């Protein structure tokens, strides 16, 4: 019953189903909102005055844990396509160097969370997490982590370990970006059967094309193999070599064997649901955890009890369901530092992307940026209650 293509008519959502916010080198970046600009000025001034170091070494910071989140570390040019989903190995290496040079204590997630609630964290605590379990973790991130001697957790979505092809939504977005200069206005009538032409020369046109192809796949209730076939046809139409992308394992999750290899090497493989989804139905939700955990138990020793919400989406009713499933911690994508008062099933986490400057990241590592967050955003319990009320 593990052949997903036989099990479902409608394909499950996948990592990056939401359109990744790609960056376009040919288009000037919009001016950051005033709040970001002001924050950067304050951070810059704090850095010059030595205040960042004071916050980093404070008792306040020592009671807190920064959990960093990464997705893809590029094998080829993926970081140029999406600076939010993918980061170059050089940028990741610079982040790891910042952690080492700033004398941060990078702890395994399990130990970090235990010590957070015991009140025994060492100064400057950080935990590193990688979502989805992409092959590029194995190829790019893991060697760097080993070089720096840092532990890490990988939240693995196991369905895509078994169905080991480039993730449909990500791949479509990527090939649309790749074709932007060579085929700025392709005629895609053959894909849809109705006259249609896309504009790929700018980010808005590519985002629209991406939405249209995802909507088409949903509307036609395409299975995963049918989606893969559609992606192959799209790549061919745009003059991209699908087989080359597949051979390089771009935008593809680790196989079970690869995940087992990193687990044997000390990487902590944890829960991210089997099919990268959190159904609102109690039984289906629990099944996602059970299916995910069963496969992860074949990959690593011990029971996986740490969870990460796919796409950072959570609802108040998920908390009792996670407790029922024996999950002890769950991480969100809500930026912040975890404190002993944080709900363990709604731990804040900083999604580190190529779009963050070294100063932005230093602001979070030291803890200074937590002071810029609106109080509401860090009041996770209140937020979950308000979701329950909704
Ligand atoms: Zn994910």
CA 283 to chain centroid: 25
| pLDDT tens-digit map of 303-343 | 999 999 999 999 999 999 999 999 999 999 999 999 999 99
Q: To 10 degrees, the CA torsion angle through 105, 338, 365, 170? A: 110
Q: Looking at 17-26, 141-150, 239-248, 356-365, which range is the least confident one?
A: 17-26
Q: How far is the CA of 133 from the centre of ligand 1 (A)?
A: 8
In whole angstroms, give the CA distance from residue 83 to residue 184: 21
Q: How confident is the model at residue 19 (pLDDT cuts 50, 70, 90)?
A: very low
- Hey, what's the torsion of the CAs at 35, 37, 38, 44, to 10 degrees? 140
Residue 290 pLDDT > 60, yes or no? Answer: yes
pLDDT confidence band for 39 (50 / 70 / 90): confident
Q: What is the pLDDT of residues 70-96, one digit of tens each?
A: 999 999 999 999 999 999 999 999 999
The Å distance, Cα 101 to ligand 1 centre, comes to 30
Domain ranges for the chain: 34-162+252-389, 165-248
Q: Whole-prediction pTM value?
A: 0.88
146: CA distance to ligand 1 center in Å? 23
Q: Which residues pair with 72 in a beta bridge?
A: 86
Distance CA 9, CA 283 (A): 19
Distance (Å) from CA 55 to ligand 1 centroid: 31
Q: Work out the pLDDT band at 32, boundaries 50, 70, 90.
A: low
- Distance from the CA of 276 to the center of ligand 1, in angstroms? 6
**DSSP 8-state class, residue 372:** G
User: Which are the contacts of 65, defined by CB distance < 8 A and separation ≥ 6?
Assistant: 107, 112, 113, 116, 121, 125, 126, 127, 337, 338
pLDDT of residue 308: 98
Distances (CA, A) of 137 to 252, 263, 318: 10, 12, 28
The confidence score (pLDDT) of residue 384 equals 33
Task: Give tens-digit pLDDT for 92-118.
Answer: 999 999 999 999 999 999 999 999 999
Cα 173 to ligand 1 centroid, rounded to whole Å: 16
C-alpha 132/C-alpha 155 separation (Å) is 6
130 CA to middle of ligand 1, Å?
Answer: 9
Tell me if residue 213 falls in helix, strand or coil: helix
Taking the centre of ligand 1 as the mean of its atom positions, its distance from the CA of residue 311, in whole angstroms, is: 5
Mean pLDDT, range 135-164, rounded to an integer = 97
**Cα–ligand 1 centroid distance for 132 (angstroms):** 5
CATH number belonging to domain 34-162+252-389: 3.20.20.370
Ligand 1 centroid to Cα of residue 83, in Å, is 16
Distance 238 CA to ligand 1 centre (A): 27
Res 199: pLDDT: 96
Q: What would the pLDDT profile of 168-225 be if each residue is shown by its tens digit?
A: 999 999 999 999 999 999 999 999 888 999 999 999 999 999 999 999 999 999 999 9
Ligand 1 center from residue 323 Cα (angstroms): 20
pLDDT of residue 10: 47
Q: How far is the CA of 46 from the centre of ligand 1 (A)?
A: 34
- pLDDT computed for residue 17 by the predictor: 55
Q: Would you state the pLDDT for residue 45?
A: 85
CA of 179 to the centre of ligand 1 (A): 26
pLDDT, one tens digit per residue, over 349-363 is: 999 999 999 999 999
> Percentage of the chain surpassing pLDDT 70?
87
Q: How far is the CA of 278 from the centre of ligand 1 (A)?
A: 11
pLDDT in tens, 370-383: 988 765 544 343 33
**pLDDT band of 20, cuts 50, 70, 90:** very low
Decide if 345 contacts 380 (C-beta within 8 A).
no
- CA dist 191 and 187 (Å) reads 9
């Amino acid at each position: 019953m593990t052949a997903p293509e036989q099990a479902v008519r409608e394909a499950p959502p996948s990592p990056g189903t939401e359109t990744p916010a790609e960056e376009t080198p040919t288009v000037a970046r919009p001016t950051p909102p005033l709040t970001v600009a002001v924050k950067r000025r304050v951070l810059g001034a704090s850095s010059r005055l030595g205040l960042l170091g004071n916050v980093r070494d404070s008792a306040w910071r020592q009671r807190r844990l920064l959990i960093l989140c990464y997705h893809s570390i590029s094998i080829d040019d993926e970081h140029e396509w999406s600076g939010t989903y993918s980061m170059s190995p050089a940028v990741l290496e610079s982040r790891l160097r910042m952690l080492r040079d700033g004398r941060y204590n990078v702890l395994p997630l399990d130990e970090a969370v235990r010590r957070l609630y015991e009140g025994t964290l060492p100064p400057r605590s950080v935990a590193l997490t990688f979502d989805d379990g992409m092959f590029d973790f194995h190829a790019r991130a893991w060697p760097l982590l080993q070089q720096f001697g840092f532990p890490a957790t990988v939240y693995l979505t196991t369905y895509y370990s078994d169905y080991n092809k480039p993730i449909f939504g990500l791949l479509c977005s990527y090939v649309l970006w790749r074709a932007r200069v060579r085929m700025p206005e392709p005629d895609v009538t053959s894909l849809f059967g109705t006259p249609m032409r896309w504009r790929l020369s700018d980010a808005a046109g590519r985002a629209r094309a991406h939405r249209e192809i995802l909507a088409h796949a949903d509307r036609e209730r395409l299975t995963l193999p049918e989606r893969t076939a559609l992606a192959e046809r799209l790549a061919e139409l745009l003059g991209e070599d699908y087989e080359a992308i597949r051979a390089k394992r771009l935008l593809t999750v680790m196989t079970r064997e690869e995940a087992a290899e990193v687990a044997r090497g000390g990487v902590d493989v944890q829960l991210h649901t089997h099919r990268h989804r959190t159904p609102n139905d109690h039984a289906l939700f629990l099944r996602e955890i059970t299916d995910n955990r069963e496969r992860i138990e074949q990959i690593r020793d011990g029971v996986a009890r740490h969870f990460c919400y796919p796409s950072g989406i959570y609802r108040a009713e998920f908390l009792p369901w996670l407790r029922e499933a024996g999950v002890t911690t769950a991480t969100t994508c809500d930026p912040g530092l975890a404190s002993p008062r944080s709900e363990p099933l709604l731990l804040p986490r900083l999604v580190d992307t190529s779009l963050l400057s070294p100063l932005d990241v230093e602001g979070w590592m030291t803890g200074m940026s937590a002071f810029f967050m609106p109080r509401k955003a860090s009041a996770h319990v209140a937020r979950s209650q308000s979701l329950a009320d909704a």
